[in-house]
Amino acid sequence: MQTRELSLVGKLDNGLTKGLCLLLSWLKTASLWWLGLLTLASLPLLIFEYGEGLADISPMEWGFMPLLALLLWRHVRYCRHFTTGIWRGLNRLLICQGIMSALGLLLVGLLTAVMVQTDHLQELLSYLKQDDPISKFVSFGSVLLAAYLAAPTAGITTLSMPKATPIRVEPTVTPAAKEASL
């Protein structure tokens, strides 16, 4: 069945659609990347919030830092093992951190929308201003989960190479086989 070629207007429309989809994809990736970078950059501010040095670190933060270092070491080792490369590995890490941060922001936004409907917004705002261990535990846990999930699981060559189709081989028939079939 033959397909007709698009008219000039159709080609322009198709090109515009492809260009806008590419732009939106790039904006999505860049936004997640920057959100992940901001999340990792804000960790020292979250840990050393009072400016008192090592005396400022709580036991939960003392447990968080070696776990994050181990997960980052694991991430680098898997990037080396699967020959992912440093930039692709960093890209995976920052995008995973950005996705977890976006999910956290979505959860806070949904909770705020519910609290606005029930006229308990001031209670929510006062709760968010407090320094409670549950919110720190959730934020540190989401950073650790994103670092765990960001590690590559397969090499790039195995993901991008198409599988080879088997070549059909004709069987060879020997003269003895011909005589036996008669």
CA nearest neighbour of 36 among 147, 153, 148, 151: 147
Contacts of the segment 2-11: beta carbons below 8 A, 24+ positions apart = none
How much is the pLDDT for 166? 65
Instruction: Name the residue among 56, 87, 72 with its Cα closest to residue 156.
Output: 87
pLDDT at 1 exceeding the cut of 70: no
Summarised one tens digit per residue, pLDDT across range 38-66 is 999 999 888 888 778 888 788 888 999 99
Give domain status of residue 176, yes or no: no
Asked whether the whole model's pTM tops 0.95, one would answer no
Could you tell me the residue range of the domain that residue 53 belongs to?
10-152
For 41, the token pair is 């950059």
User: What distances in angstroms separate CA 25 from CA 18, 29, 59, 180, one per listed residue?
Assistant: 10, 6, 41, 65
Per mean pLDDT, which of 64-78, 113-127, 143-157 is the most reliable? 64-78
In a domain, 132, yes or no: yes
Give the DSSP letter of residue 120: -
The number of distinct structural domains making up the chain is: 1
157 within domain boundaries: no
